[in-house]
Structure 1
Amino acid sequence: MDNIDIARRIVELSGGKRNIVSNSVYKTELIIKLKKLNKVEITNFMEIGEALGVSAEEGNVIKILFRADRVNLIGEELSKITRTRLNEVTEEERERSREQKESQEIQKISSEISQKIEKIEKEKIKEEKRRELEKLKKISPFSRFLRKILNVFLPLLPVLVAAGFIQGVTNIADVLPEGKSFIGTWWYQVLKTIGWMAYAYLPVFVCMNATKEFKGNKILGGVIGLLFVGNSAMPLLGTVNRLPVILPFSNKPYFPEIGGLLIALVAGIIAAFIERGLRRIIPGILKDFFVPLLTLIISAFVVIFITQPFGGLLIKQIYGSLNVLFEQKEILGGLVLSILYFPLSLVGLQGALISINSILNDPEGPTRGLNYILPILMMASGGQIGAAFAIFIKTKNRKMKKIIRGVLPVSILGVTEPLIYT
């Protein structure tokens, strides 16, 4: 093919002369800039016998490689057909083009590296999640259960710390001499109410969190938790013909506080399981109405007739055991009582000690009003505060330091529940 035929073939393969913006020559390359590159099939240029190579670049540019003695001649013929000027590329322009190309290649490599890094990070996160799942699988069911119980009480800590501080300060203010006391002032009574509410309604929050943690509706759990709050307006605590409402089986009035937080925790778990069971068996169209209705009714009856009596029996057994320890084991009994006090407080069963304290505080009782157990329990609280302070000094765990720093002042004021849950 002569130079004219080659030029015509290039125009044809380039989508016509209207698609050619400009053409130029650099050494052995014929550089053609097109309006639209998508109209062109690059590999077809190799059909030209004299073409030694072809490539496409950004900016709709095609480069065709010819012999050095023909490239300029072909370029001139191409310029005549397209009526464009043959612009020979200078070394400076070529250098600029090379720099642009290198910059584009660097950006491309940088983009590829970023994508690879992102991919590696995603794989790393995926691997970490997989390891966490493997760890969870290795954790025993009992450990998972304990973790759920921890998650029930952990959110309550900030409230207990705040309310405990208020309660501790107001308890001290209550014993101020007459004339310096704030008793009777409205703002002081507001503060006392805040401190009282947090602990009086603690079973509600425990029940709510327990129901939520075991995948139930926490509001339903909260309603069940109200069964553990002594409120004179509760119909079950009312009277009929001036007589209290008597429950079947036990033949006794209902007593909300029996069993403490432990039974409230159990009630929340039971409510969650009842709700989940009902959702499985009740058809979809009826779920929204019958699931909450039946959950409340069934859970309430289970609490009143099963969990509450169990809580009462548990407190009775604990009281009997502690009484034997106190009366017969002397020093050993005092040691065991001080050790058991905090676990009992943790689950709200410290009520088992009320009977013992009542007997010891009675001036006509066996000890003539001398309470031996109260100093033991007070020293247990002091020991707990000292142990927490020692951990605060020795530990390097910042999270632990932060938690202890928040609950220590409240514990020193005599409200040790936040420190117990910590």
Structure 2
Amino acid sequence: MDTKKVAHELVELLGGADNVVSATHCATRLRIVLNDDDKPNKEEIEELEGVKGVFKASGQYQVIFGTGLVNKVYAEFAQLTGVGSKDTDGGEKQVDHAQAAKKKMNPLARIARTLSNIFVPIIPAIVASGLLMGLLGMMQAFELVPPDSPWILFLDMFSSAAFIILPILIGFSAAKEFGANPYLGAVLGGIMTHPALLNPWTLADAEPETIQFIGMNVDLLGYQGTVIPILLVVYIMSKIERGVRKVVPNAIDLLVTPFVTVILTGFIAMLFVGPLGTLIGNGLTWSLDYIYNTAGLFAGLIFGGLYSTIVITGVHHSFHAIEAALIADFGVNFLLPIWAMANVAQGGAGLAVFFLTKNPKIKEIAIPASFSAFLGITEPVIFGINLRFMRPFIGAAIGGALGGAYVVFTNVVTNAYGLTGIPMFAIVAPFGMANIINYAIGILIAAGGAFVATWILGLKEDAEKKK
């Protein structure tokens, strides 16, 4: 295809280059922030060569091209609109894309996007730790090496490290997101996991030492593996750093600002915010655990059926924080298998659309979009296929609910977050063969249920689009 021609037509259908504020792309989508969201001609954009779907979410107008092709289209699009290019005054025409997108979100979506930006970069560390825990578990379960083997010692170190220093990882990432010095964020994480504090990650039954400080009883308890406390602390740190920098002369900023920021935030963290954040975090995770164990199958039915609807709003980006907290408190993530059922159900519904549609372009999109959902990437099939006709989206919700109910009923869990669909087998495996088999059965129920439900509901296509 002529990517230059497609990019030129896309710019025109978006309302012209002047309507484009900023643009970027991910693995499959061109993501654009516009001045006026009412100008784009959605129907005509959907008919462009190579376009697999169009939707508006998270403050961005998103056009799905698919892996590889999106890079080529973006390169032409950037030249035509000037995003990322230098203007005549030596500045960048492209403003910070993430900030531009955030300005167009509602407050709830903005919070969700912020949490996503903090936790997504940490996913590789969490997944690696989960897989290492699985390897350690298999070596111990099958007695592949003696219990006192150096293999056990090293793998235990490698697998637990990410969770022990989780506040440092979150501190660095959160500080970047909040516009503060990321290294100061890491320092605050280091303070909260200092060796002088009792490590609850490895010494869960031990009692921390209590000291008297300015008339207050302070427990010397560390925050290894916690999530909420460091998020609150770094947010406060970003405000303090910004406020101090406003009043400190530039000549001594490098000396004074970090010193004042760390000492003030450090005391606030240890005396107030840390204990409060722990209470909030524990309350959240224990509440979810109570719902999971009490509502059981019904909880899976509701969460599995509604998850894809939550994806449309963008609020699902905040779930990484909750899942990280679950792993820290209980050692397992029981939410991710439910989300996985909703995702593969979208793929099952997309496959049904392939057989039901008479539109050759929809057929062309349906197979790769559905396969993408089985690998955990659902945007192409949700926005390019299922939500476009609505009935398949409803069919997918039914499949997700059935699959979600099954994985909750059979207690399917993982030890990480960030992977769904077929790749999630890697973080399901550490909990044994029964966990693997039940996860596989859940996939079949979710995808099969969505396929059948979509087939029964049928497909109502626009007569003109059939032609």
Corresponding residue SS for 1:278? helix
1:176 has 2:153 as partner: no
- The residue aligned with 1:226 is 190
- Does 1 or 2 have the higher relative contact order (CA < 8 Å, sep 6+)? 2
TM-score (norm 1): 0.50
The aligned runs of 1:243-254 (5 Å cut-off) are: 244-246=210-212, 251-254=217-220
Q: Alpha carbons of 1:183 and 1:386: their partners in 2 closer, same or farther (altered >3 Å)?
A: farther
| Counterparts of 2:79 and 2:150, CA distance in 1 | 59
Asked whether the 8 Å contact 1:392–1:401 carries over to 2, the reply is no
- The residue aligned with 1:272 is 238
Deviation at 1:388, TM superposition (A): 4.8
| Counterparts of 1:339 and 1:273, CA distance in 2 | 39
Corresponding residue SS for 1:215? coil
1:348 has 2:312 as partner: no
Q: Alpha carbons of 1:183 and 1:200: their partners in 2 closer, same or farther (altered >3 Å)?
A: same
Asked whether the 8 Å contact 2:169–2:186 carries over to 1, the reply is yes
**Amino acid of the structure 2 residue aligned with 1:190:** F
1:194 has 2:171 as partner: no
1:139 has 2:155 as partner: no
| Counterparts of 1:121 and 1:320, CA distance in 2 | 48
Post-superposition CA distance 1:200-248 (Å, at most 9, x none)? 11111011110111111111100101233263x45999xxxx9643456
- The residue aligned with 2:429 is 413
Q: Alpha carbons of 1:162 and 1:315: their partners in 2 closer, same or farther (altered >3 Å)?
A: closer
Asked whether the 8 Å contact 1:259–1:312 carries over to 2, the reply is no
Q: Alpha carbons of 1:255 and 1:404: their partners in 2 closer, same or farther (altered >3 Å)?
A: same
Asked whether the 8 Å contact 1:173–1:182 carries over to 2, the reply is no
| Counterparts of 1:317 and 1:121, CA distance in 2 | 47
| Counterparts of 1:119 and 1:324, CA distance in 2 | 52
- The residue aligned with 2:271 is 305
Residue number among 129, 135, 156 corresponding to 1:163 in the alignment: 129
Q: Alpha carbons of 1:401 and 1:197: their partners in 2 closer, same or farther (altered >3 Å)?
A: same
Q: Alpha carbons of 1:260 and 1:392: their partners in 2 closer, same or farther (altered >3 Å)?
A: farther
Deviation at 1:193, TM superposition (A): 1.2
Q: Alpha carbons of 1:246 and 1:135: their partners in 2 closer, same or farther (altered >3 Å)?
A: closer
Residue number among 159, 176, 180 corresponding to 1:216 in the alignment: 180
- The residue aligned with 2:260 is 294
| Counterparts of 1:338 and 1:386, CA distance in 2 | 10
Corresponding residue SS for 1:251? strand
**Amino acid of the structure 1 residue aligned with 2:126:** L
Asked whether the 8 Å contact 1:322–1:337 carries over to 2, the reply is no
Deviation at 1:121, TM superposition (A): 7.2
Residue number among 74, 81, 84 corresponding to 1:124 in the alignment: 81
Structure with max Cα Rg: 1
| Counterparts of 2:146 and 2:199, CA distance in 1 | 36
Corresponding residue SS for 1:181? coil
Asked whether the 8 Å contact 1:152–1:213 carries over to 2, the reply is yes
Q: Report the more deviating stretch, 302-311 or 394-403.
A: 394-403
Segments of structure 2 that go 5 or more residues without pairing to the other structure are 1-74, 85-92, 201-207, 304-318, 351-368, 378-418, 432-467
CA RMSD of aligned residues (A): 4.6
Asked whether the 8 Å contact 1:262–1:347 carries over to 2, the reply is no
Corresponding residue SS for 1:245? strand
Deviation at 1:321, TM superposition (A): 5.7
1:205 has 2:169 as partner: yes
Deviation at 1:316, TM superposition (A): 6.2
- The residue aligned with 1:255 is 221
**Amino acid of the structure 1 residue aligned with 2:120:** L
Residue number among 82, 105, 115 corresponding to 1:149 in the alignment: 115
Asked whether the 8 Å contact 1:208–1:218 carries over to 2, the reply is yes
TM-score (norm 2): 0.46
Q: Alpha carbons of 1:339 and 1:230: their partners in 2 closer, same or farther (altered >3 Å)?
A: farther
Post-superposition CA distance 1:365-404 (Å, at most 9, x none)? xxxxxxxxx9xx86x6654554455456654485964764
**Amino acid of the structure 1 residue aligned with 2:241:** E
Asked whether the 8 Å contact 1:260–1:349 carries over to 2, the reply is no
